[in-house]
Structures are given as structure tokens and as C-alpha cells.
Amino acid sequence: MDIRTAAPGLRPQALTRQYLQALDQHMGELRAGDAQHALEIRDFAALLHVHPTHLSNTIKEVTGRSTCAHYEERLLALAKELLADTARSIGDVARQLTYDPSNFTKFFKAFAGMTPKEWRKRTLAG
């Protein structure tokens, strides 16, 4: 369903669905190592032909969570998936996710409550 042709009452749900699909596609590109950079809200908004503020407000209204919360949740899950492969260095995982290693560690610790190294150690121990 194209957001521009959806019935007015369905537009917020259609936009939300399209955002989440675009987000999942981007996570797939990151997983495959095909992303050159991390997409930002303005990139998703441009892809969906809406203003970034409208996209943010609609996602929050429909889901109760911000666009960033959805992005961070999926990115953290992907990071954990990639980190589970201990043959890969943490720096390699960071670069695949378009982070430099120090910023990746800060992101991971902020959302997982521990560093990637600590997460690997706890996950492999249990």
C-alpha cells in the first residue's frame, strides 16, 4: 500500500508499516555488509516521501515508541547476532554496522548495559 493513496484513516498505520519494512531492509543491508552508512530519520523520511517530523510523530503515535527506539532495538539485536560469531573481531562487527569501534562500544554499553566484550564473555559462558 502506498502511503499517498491510502485512505486517510489508514495512512498512519501504512506509514508505520512502511517505515518498519524499510528499517528491516536496512538491517538486512547492514547484516550483509552492503550498507555504506547508517540511515538516519531524514533518509527514511525521504524514502517514504514524508517530512522527518511527520514520520517521527506518526511512528510515536501509532506504536508508542520513537523511530530511534525501533532503530536502536533492531541494531542492538543485529549487533548481538554478529557478535555471537567469535571468529569476528569486535572492531570488524563495529565497522560492518558503520560504527568506529569506540563509538560502537559506547552504543552497545548504553543499550545492552555492558560492553560487547563483556556481552560475549557472559553469553559464551552461559
What is the pLDDT at residue 7?
A: 46
What is the pLDDT at residue 111?
A: 97
Phi-psi region of 71 (alpha: psi -120 to 50; beta: other; left: phi over 0): alpha
- What's the rounded Cα separation, in Å, for the pair 115 and 101? 11
What is the pLDDT at residue 1?
A: 46
* 30: helix, strand or coil: helix
pLDDT < 70 stretches in the chain: 1-10, 126
What is the identity of the amino acid at 45? A
* Closest to 26 measured CA to CA, from 36, 17, 15: 36
Q: Which structural domains are found in the chain, ordered by start?
A: 10-125 (1.10.10.60)
pLDDT digits (tens, 9 = 90+) for 12-28: 999 999 999 999 999 99
What is the pLDDT at residue 5?
A: 52
What is the pLDDT at residue 125?
A: 80
Q: To 5 degrees, how large is the angle CA 126–CA 108–CA 102?
A: 120
What is the pLDDT at residue 35?
A: 94
Q: What is the pTM of this model?
A: 0.89
